[in-house]
A = this chain, B = another copy of it.
Amino acid sequence: MNHINKRSPKGAFQFILLTISIAMKPVALAILFLTTLLATSKSSNSGLPLPIYPLQPLTGSGHEHHLHGISCQSWRLGVETNNIQGWKTVPLSCEAYVGHYMLGHLYRQDSKVVTNEAALYAEGLNLTKDGKDVWVFDIDETTLSNLPYYAEHGFGAEPYNSTLFDAWVDTGKAPALPESLKLYKKLLSLGFKIVFLTGRLEKRREITVTNLKSVGYHTWEKLILKSSNDSGTALAIKSSKRKELEAQGYKILGNMGDQWSDILGNNAGQRTFKLPDPMYYIS
């Protein structure tokens, strides 16, 4: 409970509500929203240095330096469209903006747009039903959410700490992304074979299986993890794994990830889908 608690005693409460809200109970969300508003007004009254701002562009001069005069809203679009590449952390001045985005309605809405389009596309395909029609899903921020971790680590504004992040992964407690889980079930019902392709290491296979199953991903054709002798960028490794997959006769009809490195490169799939993720960038 790092950043949030430093700012406001309401942080712990918000975090609990976050966990509930991931299951997307509308009532919990409404309470979260109200609590956030409350926390905001309290923070400004008490003059704390980092109140949580409502979701809107930050254009004060104090913020412009790090972003060369652009707003966090425009920064996020730049990131989502792959115009801004290779960034290491969320700009410090956008931490609160990204936090509000991730905890609010918009992240869920933006995800839903993507999975809706994916479902429409999938329904329109004529599957061969030979067991080779594949949909590829990335795992982190695509099927499982690490938001409970990132909510404690500046929503990507803190430098990445692999020790802490791996410890979180090893708890096996990442919730499902609700819109992705819905799509996963739809794809299974249509006859797709599911392949999970992740940058997680092979040594995390067991905890990953446990985590996936515990939140509703009960079956798949393959779970492909990164082996200790894979080297290069995520883009190169994932391209190579997809090439192997198609060499085995699988047809990648859909491919969904939160990173452009999930969906660019060779054998990308007949159609690709980019889920939102303003918290980190993987090459």
Contacts and interface: CB of A to CB of B under 8 A. Distances in A.
Interface of A: 57, 68-71, 73-75, 77-78, 80-85, 106, 109-110, 112-114, 116-117, 273-274, 276
Q: 7 shortest A-B CB distances, which residue pairs? A: A78-B113, A74-B109, A83-B114, A74-B113, A81-B274, A74-B110, A83-B117
Given A77-B80, A80-B77, A81-B80, A70 B274 contact: no
Contacts of A85: 117
Contacts of A75: 113
30 contacts: A57-B106, A68-B116, A69-B112, A70-B109, A70-B112, A70-B113, A70-B116, A71-B109, A73-B109, A74-B106, A74-B109, A74-B110, A74-B112, A74-B113, A75-B113, A77-B77, A77-B110, A77-B113, A78-B110, A78-B114, A78-B117, A80-B81, A81-B81, A81-B114, A83-B114, A83-B117, A83-B273, A83-B274, A84-B113, A84-B117
Contacts of A69: 112
Contacts of A78: 110, 113-114, 117
B74 A274 contact: no
Given A74-B106, A77-B77, A106-B73, A82 B274 contact: yes
A77 B112 CA distance: 11
Contacts of A80: 77, 80-81
A103 B57 CA distance: 17
A110 B67 CA distance: 12
Contacts of A117: 78, 83-85
Q: Which of A68, A84, A109 has the most CB of B within 10 A?
A: A109
A106 B81 CA distance: 15
A118 to B, nearest CB: 8
Contacts of A70: 109, 112-113, 116
A81 B257 CA distance: 12
Contacts of A57: 106, 109
Contacts of A110: 74, 77-78
Given A74-B113, A77-B80, A77-B110, 7 more contacts: A70-B116, A71-B106, A71-B109, A75-B113, A77-B276, A80-B81, A81-B274
